[in-house]
Amino acid sequence: MPHDHTHPHPLRPDQDGPLTEAQLTEIALRELLIEKGVLTPAQITAQVTAMDARSPANGAAVVARAWTDPAFRERLLTNGSAACREMGYDIGTLNLIAVENTAVTHNVIVCTLCSCYPRNLLGLPPDWYKSRAYRSRTVRDPRGVLAEFGTTLREGMTVRVHDSTADMRYIVVPERPAGTEGLDAEALAAMVTRDGMIGVTRL
Amino acid sequence: MTEAGLPTRVRVKAWALPGHIRTPGYLRGKTGEIERRLPAFPNPELLAYRLPAPEVPLLRVRFTMAEIWGPDTPHPDDTLDAEIYAHWLEPADAP
């Protein structure tokens, strides 16, 4: 549609301003790496594609395995990184801690200092996860934040907030929904959501 | 005592340092319990400036909301866990 209509929808402005220093540095470095034969444009595109392909489905498969394989659940809670590598996920240098929701405990993840996120398992973080509002309010008023996500906790539950301050990354293992006893790991994985693994919702 | 020479109950040092610090301001001076011991990692305060960065033990410390925000916080027994490098911690009973 030509742009002669009025805009009831928000218009994202074109990026006509000057490049930032970081953008210039990235372009210069990328062009030098290509010019000197260190990398090819195809390799760079392949890496971007691989990073974009990471999605919460990876984390969901880990959670479903933990629900269906008690020995794996133990290993995941003891050493999250090793358990994910065992499942064949190339998680690089990721140091993972898995925290488990129970009938009496609810866990929620935040990174107050920046926006640390287990990208290898959950893909790119949602914008709200990186917002100052989420980062500051989740440590001050976690139940208020959870309520805004529509998450109300049963009487007597404890909330455990995990601030991802340094070298570890976190994933919440949600409580397995009731009435799912007959389902296999694949069907269970389809029920596991990104927000459930951040801990802002319960399944 | 942990391998880092710290008892279970620890206090975060109330330092106010410039630079790349991974100890959140809202936990400085607060007391908690070591939840688990993690491997040592290169000190990010030096690594950020590409300086030689010796490895420092990392610990997960669990604080109560009452400790962080005061006794009037609505859910004082809810907790917050954070990773704190050993050089930022001292025994809770230290003067």
| Average pLDDT of chain A, as a whole number | 93
Please write the tens of the pLDDT for every residue from A50-104: 888 899 999 999 999 999 999 999 999 999 999 999 988 867 777 999 999 999 9
**Is A111 an annotated catalytic residue?**
yes
Cα separation, A198 vs A173, in Å, equals: 9
* CB-based contact B38 A163, cutoff 8 Å: no
In this predicted structure, what is the pLDDT of residue B1? 43
In this predicted structure, what is the pLDDT of residue A50? 87
Cα separation, A187 vs B51, in Å, equals: 49
Whether residue B12 is predicted with pLDDT greater than 60 in this model: the reply is yes
Torsion B77-B83-B86-B87 (CA) sign? negative
Given the residues A55, A81, A84, A115, select the one marked as catalytic: A115
| A183 C-beta neighbours (distance < 10 Å), count | 17
| Closest chain A CA to residue B35 | A162
Percent of chain A past pLDDT 90, that is, above it, reads 83
Asked if A166 reaches chain B (Cβ–Cβ under 8 Å), the answer is yes
Whether residue B30 is predicted with pLDDT greater than 80 in this model: the reply is yes
| Closest chain B CA to residue A164 | B82
ipTM for the whole complex = 0.95
Tell me how close the Cα of A129 comes to any Cα of chain B, in angstroms. Answer: 17
Residues of A in contact with B39 (CB under 8 A): 95
Asked if B56 reaches chain A (Cβ–Cβ under 8 Å), the answer is no
Alpha-carbon distances of B62 from A121, A140, B16, B27, rounded to whole Å: 25, 15, 21, 11
Asked if B23 reaches chain A (Cβ–Cβ under 8 Å), the answer is yes
Which of A169, A193, A175 has the alpha carbon at shortest distance from A106? Answer: A175
In this prediction, residues A126-132 reach a mean pLDDT of: 96
Do residues A172 and A196 make contact, with C-beta atoms less than 8 angstroms apart?
yes
| Closest chain B CA to residue A163 | B82
Q: Name the token pair of A58.
A: 């990876």
Residue A181 pLDDT grade (very low, low, confident, very high; cuts 50, 70, 90): very high
